[in-house]
């Protein structure tokens, strides 16, 4: 077991760097496998993970090498899940994917609109 007091600043930085590299490699490999399995060449990376600059660099490199493209929201939007959901909805609307009627949604308000 590693305790915080056992590590110097450089050791902590090295550990964090190596962890990030390992996670980045795994995510890049999984993204490539998913694109191959679906026969797609475009990927959208959204949510908090999309803010990681190293992951962006790695995905751009490995997917770009295979002729694919990765799309990311602006960095300031990557930590806002509401923005990510709205972005996905906007992309669907732009693609003409509009649900009929209520789209199968059941709206259940929890209080008056004035409380929102």
* Burial of 23 from C-beta contacts in 10 A (0-12 / 13-18 / 19+): middle
Please tell me the distance from the alpha carbon of residue 89 to that of residue 95, in angstroms, as a whole number.
Answer: 10
Domain extent listing, the chain = 11-94
Please tell me the distance from the alpha carbon of residue 112 to that of residue 115, in angstroms, as a whole number.
Answer: 6
Q: Which CATH superfamily is domain 11-94 in?
A: ATPase, nucleotide binding domain (3.30.420.40)
Please, are residues 50 and 78 in contact by the beta-carbon 8 Å criterion?
yes
Asked whether the whole model's pTM tops 0.85, one would answer: no
Position 37 scores a pLDDT of 97
- Mean pLDDT of successive 10-residue segments in the chain (116 residues)? 73 93 97 96 91 96 96 85 81 85 72 67
Position 83 scores a pLDDT of 77
């Amino acid at each position: 077991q590693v305790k915080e007091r056992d590590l110097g600043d450089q050791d902590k930085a090295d550990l964090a760097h190596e962890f990030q590299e390992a996670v980045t490699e795994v995510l890049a490999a999984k993204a490539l496998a998913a694109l191959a399995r679906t026969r797609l060449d475009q990927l959208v990376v959204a949510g908090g993970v999309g803010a990681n600059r190293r992951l962006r660099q790695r995905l751009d490199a490995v997917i770009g090498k295979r002729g694919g493209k990765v799309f990311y929201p602006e960095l300031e939007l990557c930590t806002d899940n509401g923005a990510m959901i709205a972005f996905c909805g906007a992309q669907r609307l732009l693609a003409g994917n509009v649900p009929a009627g209520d789209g199968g949604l059941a709206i259940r308000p929890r209080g008056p609109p004035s409380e929102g």
